[in-house]
């Protein structure tokens, strides 16, 4: 079968007994970075040396079929460098191919940067969404954040330390400076830190630079405070000032959380009714 195994995200003590047992017995390991896996085997005191196959973003599509065929006959352990494979890491393509081919897929659960950051953030955990790595360019980031501005669930993002200050500034501009958030740095490691506060406060916190692996957790949007009819009226006002109807509906949707399509149709119907009057 194909076995997905979570590896430590920082502290080697988080390696599960099941992970160590699997590393001591499986004949084949598909790894995001075989050098990292070799170091993990050594650090965990595993003397067994399985066949290592590199599986990363650039070769996963080509390697998926090969790994599925191997998993028909023997156990294949799939690892990412840290955390659970397939979560912003290679593995999804292999799992999808295995499922389609009727090959059994199971998992050895364990550390997860997403869930760890969510748990320690101090923000609501009952409903959340994982958005992966934020885009590198500011314009693309702001477009992504604008699409999430009305998201009511807590949001979890990955980001690089070299641009987290710029990312927080874009979040503050789009989500609003008072929005609560947390930046979780070096989780489970010696210098673990969780910075909590408003986005404005976190922009100031990151001003002098941030180091280490990062996860950003942002509170969801507050419940809608604008009635639908009032939102439609806002669309009409924007159109009257020269904004195109589609753009006006999208802008008001971002601000109020109402559906852009529903606002567009309602404003269009109101305009048609006014024309008939």
The CATH number of the domain where 76 resides is what?
3.40.1010.10
Q: What is the pTM of this model?
A: 0.79
Of 71, 91, 111, the one marking the end of a domain is 111
Exposed, middle or buried, 58 (CB in 10 Å: 0-12/13-18/19+)?
A: exposed
Whether 128 and 55 map to the same domain: the answer is no
Total number of domains in the chain: 3
Q: Domain end: 95, 111, 127, which one?
A: 111
- Measure the CA–CA gap between 200 and 168, rounded to whole angstroms: 8
Token pair for 136: 């590198």
Say if residues 82 and 8 touch (Cβ distance below 8 Å).
Answer: yes
Q: Is the residue at 23 inside a domain?
A: yes
Element holding 260 (H helix, E strand)? helix 260-276
Would you state the pLDDT for residue 44?
Answer: 96
Instruction: Please state, in angstroms and rounded to a whole number, the distance separating the CA atoms of residues 210 and 194.
Output: 12
**DSSP helix/strand/coil, 210:** coil
Residues in the chain predicted with pLDDT less than 70, given as ranges, are: 223-225, 275-277
Residue 135: give its domain's CATH number: 3.30.950.10
Same domain membership, residue 119 and residue 209: yes
At which of 111, 142, 177 does a domain end?
Answer: 111
Q: What pLDDT digit, counting tens, does each position of 83-121 carry? A: 999 998 999 999 999 999 999 999 999 999 999 999 999
Do 172 and 138 share a domain, yes or no?
yes
Examine residue 223 and state whether it is found in any structural domain, yes or no. no
- Residue 84: give the domain boundaries: 2-111
- Residue 263 in any domain: the answer is yes
**pLDDT at 275 (0 to 100):** 62
């Amino acid at each position: 079968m194909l076995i997905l195994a979570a590896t430590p995200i920082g502290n080697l003590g988080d390696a599960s007994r099941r992970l160590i047992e699997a590393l001591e017995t499986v004949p084949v390991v598909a790894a995001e970075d075989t050098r990292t896996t070799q170091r993990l085997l050594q650090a965990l005191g595993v003397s067994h040396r399985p066949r290592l196959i590199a599986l990363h973003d650039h070769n996963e599509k080509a390697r998926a079929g090969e790994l599925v065929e191997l998993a028909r006959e023997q156990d294949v352990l799939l690892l990412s460098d840290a955390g659970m494979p397939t979560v912003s890491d290679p593995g999804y393509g292999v799992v999808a191919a295995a499922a389609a081919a009727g090959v059994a897929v199971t998992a050895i659960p364990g550390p997860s940067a997403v869930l760890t950051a969510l748990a320690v953030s101090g923000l609501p955990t009952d409903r959340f969404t994982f958005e992966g790595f934020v885009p590198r360019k500011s314009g693309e980031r702001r477009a992504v954040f604008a699409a999430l501005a009305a998201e009511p669930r807590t949001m979890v993002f990955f980001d690089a330390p070299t641009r987290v200050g710029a990312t927080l500034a874009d979040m503050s501009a789009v989500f609003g400076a008072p929005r609560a958030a947390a930046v979780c740095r070096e989780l489970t490691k010696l210098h673990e830190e969780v910075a909590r506060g408003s986005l404005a406060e976190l922009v100031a916190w990151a001003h002098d630079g941030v180091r280490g692996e990062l996860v950003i957790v942002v509170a969801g949007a507050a419940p809608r405070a604008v009635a639908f009819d009032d939102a439609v009226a806002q669309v009409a006002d924007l159109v009257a000032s020269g904004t195109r109807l589609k753009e006006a509906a999208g802008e008001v949707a971002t601000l109020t959380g109402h559906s852009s399509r529903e606002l567009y149709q309602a404003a269009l119907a109101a305009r048609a009714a006014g024309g008939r009057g």
